[in-house]
Amino acid sequence: MESKSIMKICYGVQGTGNGHIARARIMAQAFALRDDVKVDFYFSGRDADAYFDMEVFGRYRTFRGLTFFTHKGRVDPWKTVSQNSPIQAYRDIKQLDLSQYDLVLNDFEPITAWTAKRQGITSISISHQAAFQYPVPQSGKGFIDQLIMKYFAPCDISLGVHWYHFGSPIIPPFIHEEPIIRPNRESVVVYLPFEDLAEVIDVLQPLSEQNFVVFHPDIKEASKQANVSLEPLSKPNFKYALQHSAGVIGNGGFELSSESLRLGKKLLLKPLDGQFEQSSNIVTLKALGLCEDMAILSSETIEDWLSLKDNPIIAYPKTPEVLVNWLLAQDYNDTQTLCQALWKQVTFPADVLKRARELIY
């Protein structure tokens, strides 16, 4: 009796933001249900000891990689240049051997992407960044941004991930969370990891009639200052707070907004200054009628936003089973069938769908 063939996949994940890791967790859980595939995870973009809740990835590997550094809510160009190490990245690419793998999946991770390119291994980008290769709403995209999107983590095939397909090879996000019955709605979740924590607290405390739960990488122990609860980063605690929240204040990152849309939470977003991706996300959500924005931290803006009603619930797929089946079938040129099958699983409110269709270029 012949043994069953097992496909071996290398999965490279950008570790700078928790959104990439959140998407990889969902994919890891789906792969774990199969006995015909083995997936090894590679992460880069943050210190090895700064990852958390990583059990689902098994014996993963980390690299220093390349990332963006921020200061008080904006990209810091000098720090980004001075504290990255392209020489080390080049060495890692040169030394890494991926020849044992049949396929490299990539979520905007440069080491595995360039290694796959160098070693002639088929690579597929499945990332929000890949969506910006297609005619989706964009704001503030400069020449440097174009170069980064093209050369930071190049792959043979690009599958974007976005809130709508815009007539392109783009798939929806996968969201496990389900809206719960009768959430307490006592607090607003605040996740502004690129902002100065003291400034965030100063803006929230004058709104004394509203409770806030702030998650921030600089918080090491849970505490409370008047109406502001301070929580260290924790996936279970954040998930609970999000489910029961009256709304979400965040940056323009993709994953948190996606989870909030699935739960019907209203959004107030402040883009990371200097990152066109976040500005573009907010432009898209505003065009869909699904968020408000603020250019600077403002108690007045937050107070106005608190009076707004909830967002409508958007039902995105819970699991990536369709995507996993497509990957293992290895007919990678047929992205249309994959995209159609996944978007059939999405339920939009009528007015949101109408606005989305009007955004197709």
Chunk the chain into consecutive blocks of 10 residues (it has 361) and report each block's average pLDDT, rounded to whole numbers: 79 90 95 96 91 92 75 51 70 95 97 97 97 92 85 95 97 92 92 95 97 96 97 93 97 95 97 89 97 96 97 95 96 96 96 94 68
Instruction: Return the CATH architecture of domain 187-306.
Output: 3-Layer(aba) Sandwich (3.40)
Q: What is the pLDDT of residue 148?
A: 84
Same fold, 7-175+319-358 and 187-306: yes
Contact 261, 314 (CB under 8 A): yes
Question: pTM of the prediction?
Answer: 0.92
Report the CATH architecture of 7-175+319-358: 3-Layer(aba) Sandwich (3.40)
Q: What are the structural domain ranges in the chain?
A: 7-175+319-358, 187-306
